[in-house]
Amino acid sequence: MMTASLPRLAVFDMDGTLIDSLPDLAACASRLLVHYSLPPITPDLVRPMIGDGVAVLVRRLLAHAGPAAAAIDPAEATTRYMADYTPHSTDLSRPFPGTETMLAGLRADGWRMAVCTNKPVAAARHILRVLDLEKWFVAVGGGDSFDTRKPDPRHLLDTIALAGGDPRRAIMTGDHHNDMAAAIGAHVPAIFARWGYGRPEMEAGATVGADSITEVTHLAGEIIPA
């Protein structure tokens, strides 16, 4: 089969790329800490903790709390965090401005789309459904969908396979070094989402950076022409 005859697939990270989820993640983080009689935390401190999955986020929250959190079981705290976060995950979270216009543009250009996130897949699907974004995606690869998760390239490759795509005709867009590392390892071009939560140095290895999500439609077409 000629490569050019294969459908193009645009894969997206979720938190900090498609969705501004920081307000809900931070609110849940504060409620968790307060439950353990620890001081609440501000969103600007939670921002750099996002991107490696819930368990890592909770461990970082407990580490931030210092010695007062030493006796807290991270596994129990993670379970408590998820039990609170899932029903509140769309209280304040919203798609970044221009997200639906970008997705509509990709679909009009013949792209298929998928999500590859370290967030548990049930939570990811719930958020996409409530925010009316699920209709755009042919597959969602969550942090518990496969045996691996980003930055392991197999997480991205398995998501591409789940979407019926081919790595030779796929791109990855994300705001974290995990997204870039997964794309590099999978030999998939990557767009770094500068509008997201990642630090500037996380753009290293990206094919190109975008200042706004509205640029993705054009950039994707330049990277993999129809």
Give the model's confidence band at 187: pLDDT under 50 very low, under 70 low, under 90 confident, else very high. Answer: very high
Half-sphere exposure of residue 116: CA atoms within 13 angstroms, side-chain side: 35
Which tokens is 105 given?
């543009």
- Domain with residue 106: its CATH number is 3.40.50.1000
Type and span of the H or E element at 82: helix 74-88
Taking only the tens place, the pLDDT of each residue in 190-226 is 999 999 999 999 999 999 999 999 999 999 999 999 9
Q: What is the DSSP string of 128-164?
A: HHHTT-GGG-SEEE-TTSSS--TTSHHHHHHHHHHTT
Q: 9 and 29, same structural domain?
A: no
pLDDT, tens digit, 9 for 90 and up, residues 27-79: 999 999 999 999 999 999 999 999 888 899 999 999 999 999 999 999 999 99
C-alpha to C-alpha distance for 223 and 226, rounded to whole angstroms: 10
Domain end among 68, 88, 108: 88
Q: Which domain holds residue 83?
A: 22-88
Of 63, 88, 113, which residue is a domain's last? 88
In terms of domains, do 11 and 115 share one? yes
Per-residue pLDDT tens over the stretch 74-114: 999 999 999 999 899 999 999 999 999 999 999 999 999 99
The active-site residue, picked from 13, 15, 52, 179, is: 13
**13 flagged as catalytic:** yes
120 or 224, higher pLDDT: 224
pTM: 0.93
What type of residue sits at position 29?
A
